Structure 1
């Protein structure tokens, strides 16, 4: 098996849509329209086995120091093989490159995220998430997802550094 993780391309939209819809139909993930996926394609990473898209995940900026891992999913038959962890590692690296020190997720799979260095926290510490997505969610007042967060050390950009640090 030669799995490759890469940035998503516009040609991936249909496969992304099908993968995410499968999770959404089971109430595990929020649905995304093809139009939204097209607009947000640059936020997605995909896992590919040969010509087949087998996994995806995206980063959504919630603030200057916070991003959310969204739409993290793996095609049946590929689960449990470390592909989700590879996607999380790649998303964490992307957050680091963007200089964002906090990565959060809302999940039903807290053990998976804990295995990948995240810690369970109270959802309420993320008002950015609540006002961005939760206000539109049908589960808003009975949310059963678990919030997780992972801090990463990012190098300060030269714009943020004082002359004494350079």
Structure 2
């Protein structure tokens, strides 16, 4: 699946892209906007991942992880800041959503610091009466209040 708007190209990611993907993601990880990923983590996402390039330079990346027929998650969405505002992120998200649709996935979620961007892509918050995701970081030290868990 390749998309080109004349300025940038969206294509499926390959193993040859791993170094460039890692370099693209590193500044976002350092700013705590993305979770850190090892090369093996990224390689595991390549089956359902897309890159954006301009003149052969990798400037965007997104992957979708399929958990079940009910749910998939967009992961590692990043676009080089020099290319923000050009529709590249929206096209990466659209490719991920279209891939989920091709696999008959019922829902795609995205966890992000950029709520407004995702809303522009058609994502919305859960309704008040729906379940919400809560996270427990298992790497934090236990304290007395948590000892009953």
Q: Normalising to structure 2: TM-score of the pair?
A: 0.80
- Identify if the C-alpha distance between structure 1 residues 17 and 136 changes in structure 2 by more than 3 Å, giving closer, same or farther: farther
1:43-101 per-residue CA deviation (whole Å, 9 max, x = no partner) reads 21111112101101010123321001110000121011110001111111100011102
SS of the aligned residue for 1:63 comes to coil
Candidates 103, 110, 132, aligned match of 1:125: 132
Q: Which runs of 4+ in 1 moved over 3 A?
A: 134-138
Contact 2:69/2:106 (<8 A) preserved? no
Match of 2:52 in 1: 47
> RMSD of the TM alignment (CA)?
2.1
Match of 1:78 in 2: 83
Distance in 1 of aligned mates of 2:70 and 2:122: 18
Match of 2:24 in 1: 19
Contact 2:48/2:65 (<8 A) preserved? yes
Listed as ranges, the gaps of 5+ residues in structure 2 are 1-5, 141-149
Greater strand fraction, Structure 1 or Structure 2: 1
Q: Where do 1:76-155 residues align within 5 Å? A: 76-121=81-126, 125-126=132-133, 130=135, 135=137
SS of the aligned residue for 1:90 comes to helix
Distance in 1 of aligned mates of 2:86 and 2:20: 20
Contact 2:45/2:64 (<8 A) preserved? no
Match of 1:155 in 2: none
Contact 2:62/2:76 (<8 A) preserved? yes
1:93-122 per-residue CA deviation (whole Å, 9 max, x = no partner) reads 100011102010111111111111111237
- Identify if the C-alpha distance between structure 1 residues 137 and 108 changes in structure 2 by more than 3 Å, giving closer, same or farther: farther
| Matched pairs, number | 133
